[in-house]
Amino acid sequence: MSIDRRGFLATGAASLALASTARAAEPGALRFIATREGAVWQDLSPSIRLDAGQPADVRVSLNQPAQTIEAFGACFNELGHDALALLPEAAREAVLKDLFGADRAQGRSMGFTRCRLPVGANDFSRDWYSYNETAGDFAMQQFSIRRDEQALIPFIKAAKRYQPALSLWASPWSPPTWMKTNGHYAQNVSSPNQPPNGLRPDQVVREGSDGFIQSEPYYRAYALYFRRFIEEYAKRGIPIGMVMPQNEFNSNQSFPSCVWTPEGLARFIPHLHEALSPLGVALFFGTLERPDTALFERVYADPAAKAAISGIGLQWAGRGAAPFLGRAHPELKLYQTEQECGDGRNDWRYARYTWDLIRDYMEAGVSVYQYWNMALIKDRPSTWGWSQNSLVLVDAQTRTHSFTPDYYTLKHVCHFVEPGARRVKAESWSGHDNALAFVNPDGGQVLVFQNDQSHPLPLRIGMAGTTVLVTVPPNALCTVAS
């Protein structure tokens, strides 16, 4: 039996391997959790009924194992730190334990094990900064991560208290301004409803061009900038295992950003690989925020860049490219790197869309799924005027917090699916295919499904060696787990 780098079993013997680890379960051992507007995380387990001998409407099939699920997570941002800092210590620690706790029996809800952080400022930083704004300092003598010691480093260390196995990866939103063709952190002027960023119209860098100075000394200096970032974080007890060269390299934003052509990235990636490979740091292509697979293929066609790349990071419209890149490149890992961030309303309408995103990315073969903002202050937009959703909302007046609909939607998957689980097929011959199925390393099975109808739905579920009948509440997301 052979296994490729994404964890896909290459022969039909896969079903036998999974079957040997699957545990049979009595109905009383199954958990049935439902969430809908006005009734979150309802434990309906006592309502499960044995329905042996009847055909299942949907069943967990072990015959078509797919990718291994490595982790779930989110991003460490300065504004997330600032939101949680408003809470009383006990409440803040409870939120951190909820998001990162390693032991489900002791209060873990999400159990995040892999998270992202920015290299310098991103759009949810307090303001613009880089680690070296000294023009011409190619040797990085003035490099410093002192700014990160105010928020990001304490935030990460607080999370690691509850999840010692937390692993991290990083990407920049913008290089230092002196490395850019327009000398500014942004690539586009602010819109009328945003705070002005000071960019002149003649400084706009169009999409499809290179906003980074295309010169060997600048490539080498920027690669050293990454290396110093990795080394300085390691000195503070925070190892970073992977980087991506640029967040959303096709988007000229009014906040920290930098556009690159695929050819520009192909020229820079070998320099970055040379600088980081002695440190054992992996390099992924990304983040890809367009559905155009050619944006990746044009980079991967370069032999030196191809040798450096071990995975692909996708977000936003990159969702459209995910299934095609997954099929074309089974040798590469796929990460969903940033869930679409919503509009700040944090409503149930968007939570339904969040489920669609999770389902589509999982079916495309991603091994890591990551939310964006862990926590934000209620009704407060970003520094650059964008209101977004989060998992936790903090009321600045009362210094209290609440969990959002997106939180419960994601929890329906990551609370039950352990690192190392395999996604398998949720099989249905009667149209009940709005579902995901997994087998955990200990053999436990997980089925997550949505009833998008406005009335209760009786559903026969085949899993863990039995068939059970459940009644799914209307407009509900549910999980049944053995």
Task: Please spell the DSSP secondary structure of 343-401, one letter per residue.
Answer: -S---HHHHHHHHHHHHHHHHHT-SEEEEEESEEETT---TTS-----SEEEETTTTEE
Which pLDDT tens digit goes with each residue over 310-341? 999 999 999 999 999 999 999 999 999 999 99
- The yes-or-no verdict on residue 10 having pLDDT over 50 is no
CA distances from 203 to 19, 184, 199, 200, 364 (A): 60, 8, 6, 5, 38
What proportions of the chain, in percent to the nearest 5, are helix, strand and coil?
30, 25, 45
State the pLDDT at residue 273. 98
What pLDDT band is residue 18 in, cutting at 50, 70 and 90?
A: low
Region 34-61: what's the mean pLDDT?
Answer: 95
DSSP-derived secondary structure letter, 25: -
What pLDDT band is residue 23 in, cutting at 50, 70 and 90?
A: low
State the pLDDT at residue 9. 28
Length of the chain: 482
State the pLDDT at residue 13. 44
Which pLDDT tens digit goes with each residue over 154-185? 999 999 999 999 999 999 999 999 999 999 99
DSSP assignment of 204-234 equals ---TTS--B---HHHHHHHHHHHHHHHHHHH
- The yes-or-no verdict on residue 5 having pLDDT over 50 is no
- The yes-or-no verdict on residue 8 having pLDDT over 80 is no
Region 372-380: what's the mean pLDDT?
Answer: 98
- The yes-or-no verdict on residue 238 having pLDDT over 60 is yes
Which pLDDT tens digit goes with each residue over 422-462? 999 999 988 999 999 999 999 999 999 999 999 999 999 99
What three-state secondary structure class fits 288? strand
State the pLDDT at residue 102. 87
State the pLDDT at residue 64. 86
What pLDDT band is residue 53 in, cutting at 50, 70 and 90?
A: confident
Region 238-251: what's the mean pLDDT?
Answer: 98
R_g over Cα of the chain: 23
Region 100-126: what's the mean pLDDT?
Answer: 91
Which pLDDT tens digit goes with each residue over 279-296? 999 999 999 999 999 999
pTM, rounded to two decimals: 0.94
Of 60-64, 65-69, 82-86, 237-241, the one with minimum mean pLDDT is 60-64
Structural domains in the chain, CATH included, are 14-66+435-481 (2.60.40.1180), 71-419 (3.20.20.80)
Q: pLDDT above 90 covers what percent of the chain?
A: 91
- The yes-or-no verdict on residue 22 having pLDDT over 80 is no
Mean pLDDT of the chain: 94
Q: How many CB atoms lie within 10 A of CB 338?
A: 24
State the pLDDT at residue 106. 67
Q: How many CB atoms lie within 10 A of CB 45?
A: 16
Which of 422, 401, 417, 427 is closest to 481 using CA atoms? 417
Q: How many CB atoms lie within 10 A of CB 278?
A: 8
State the pLDDT at residue 459. 96
In the sheet with 311-315, reading across from the earlier edge strand, the strands are 282-283, 242-243, 167-171, 114-118, 71-75, 368-373, 333-338, 311-315, 285-288
Class of residue 142 by CB neighbours under 10 A (exposed 0-12, middle 13-18, buried 19+): exposed
Question: Between vectors from CA 271 to CA 265 and to CA 276, what angle results, nearest 5°?
Answer: 115
